[in-house]
Amino acid sequence: MKQITITAQTANQRADKFMRKWLKEAPLSFIYKLFRKKDVKVNGKRITIEYILKENDILQAYVHDDQLQDFTVHRRYQKKLLDLPIVYEDAHCLMIHKPKGMLVQGEDDTRQHTLTEMVIEHLYAKGEYQPNQPGFTPAPGHRLDRNTSGLVLYGKTIEGLQALHRLFKDRDEISKQYLALVVGPLTGKGKIDLPLVKDESKKMVLIAKHTQQGLSALTEYEVIKNYGNFTLIKVHLITGRTHQIRVHMQAIQHPIAGDRKYGDFKANKWLMDHHHYEHQFLHATELSFGEITGVLKGLSNKNFTIKLDRTEEELLVKLSS
């Protein structure tokens, strides 16, 4: 029988979810069989999968040494403080300015140089996370594309991460603003209300031909300044679908400058040839919060804004001249 003490970071989650994180490589059938056979206990009493773990609970599970070795993922993390701008931090969450070109999170358990890995090593260095303590790993409450720069929020505790997921799902008390340079002249304001659907074979997101086939997606934008054949806009993301801004702007014939998947390839080549610019000009510039209670109350009624990265600022100066 293996025994684990539940910490503040791993508390407040269902017992089966904790077990799935602890025994990452175990088949789900194995984990749920443990519960069916009543081979999982807390404080000496058998529990069901619905049991919510509490701080200082003693969880016991009938797992053999060889099973534990096979079912757990051993990853080595360095203690290394984050060398990226930290915009906000409290006991439960961390807001970072992500550079373009960096993955927020890897798509599998292979070791990649991701923002999430950097956050884990940062918290490890500060003594706020122990990699050898199973059941919870700091994670982002939302994602940005690899080539989109800007603000990303992380949950440092299970309570913080759960609250962030609710916040981004409900969207009532959070507002997300982006800056984007798009191809072609635009004026005024606009709203794009087009459902989106994923094409897994092409690894792309498309406008759904029929509303019932796709997920609803709503984007609002406002022109800031025209730069000849390009326009700088501020985008208000109402929903948060994958590649939403990029696909919506392409749909109205004003794709994001530098976008290699949904963009205008002639315009991208012109930017490269004339200004040596080869990036995707999309920047998550602002996060605003309403009345927040609970563990994220430190964000309540706050607004966080970051400037464009230097490469994009320099491009706008070149386009102006």
**What backbone phi and psi angles, to 5 degrees, belong to 98?**
-85, 135
| DSSP per position, 222-289 | EEEEEETTEEEEEEEESS--TTHHHHHHHHTT-PBTT-TTTS-HHHHHHHHHHH---S--EEEEEEEE
Beta bridge partners of 228: none
Task: For residue 145, indicate whether it is catalytic.
Answer: yes
Q: Examine the pLDDT at 198 and tell me if it is beyond 70.
A: yes
Mean pLDDT of 284-310: 96
What pLDDT is recorded for position 109? 46
| pLDDT tens-digit series, residues 242-291 | 999 999 999 999 999 999 999 999 999 999 999 999 999 999 999 999 99
Mean pLDDT of 39-46: 94
Q: What percent of the chain has pLDDT over 70?
A: 97
Q: What sign for the dihedral angle of Cα 297, 301, 307, 309?
A: positive
Listed ranges 4-13, 67-76, 195-204; the one with the highest mean pLDDT: 195-204
Kindly state the DSSP code that residue 14 receives in the 8-state scheme: B
The residue annotated as part of the active site, out of 39, 57, 65, 145, is 145
Categorize the per-residue pLDDT at 2 as very low, low, confident or very high, splitting at 50, 70 and 90.
Answer: confident
Task: Show the tokens assigned to 220.
Answer: 């609002």
Q: Dmax over Cα atoms in the chain, in whole Å?
A: 73
Q: Examine the pLDDT at 68 and tell me if it is beyond 50.
A: yes
What pLDDT is recorded for position 107? 58
What pLDDT is recorded for position 10? 85
Least confident of 63-67, 124-128, 239-243: 63-67
Q: What percent of the chain has pLDDT over 90?
A: 76
CA 12/CA 54 separation, integer angstroms: 6
Q: Examine the pLDDT at 228 and tell me if it is beyond 60.
A: yes
Q: Examine the pLDDT at 27 and tell me if it is beyond 70.
A: yes
Least confident of 139-148, 175-184, 205-214: 205-214
Beta bridge partners of 196: 207, 215
Q: Examine the pLDDT at 75 and tell me if it is beyond 80.
A: no
Mean pLDDT of 79-84: 94
| Strand 189-193 with 196-199, pairing | unpaired
Task: Collect all residues with Cβ–Cβ distance below 8 Å to 231 and sequence separation of at least 6.
Answer: 181, 182, 184, 185, 186, 223, 225, 254
Q: What domains are there in the chain, each with its CATH number? A: 2-71 (3.10.290.10), 86-170 (3.30.2350.10), 174-320 (3.30.2350.10)
Beta bridge partners of 96: 86, 152
CA 275/CA 228 separation, integer angstroms: 14
The pTM assigned to this predicted structure is 0.81
> Amino acid identity of 317?
V
Q: What sign for the dihedral angle of Cα 293, 298, 302, 306?
A: negative
Where in 24-112 does DSSP place strands (E)?
Answer: 40-42, 45-46, 58-61, 86-89, 93-98
What pLDDT is recorded for position 248? 98
What pLDDT is recorded for position 200? 84
What pLDDT is recorded for position 118? 94
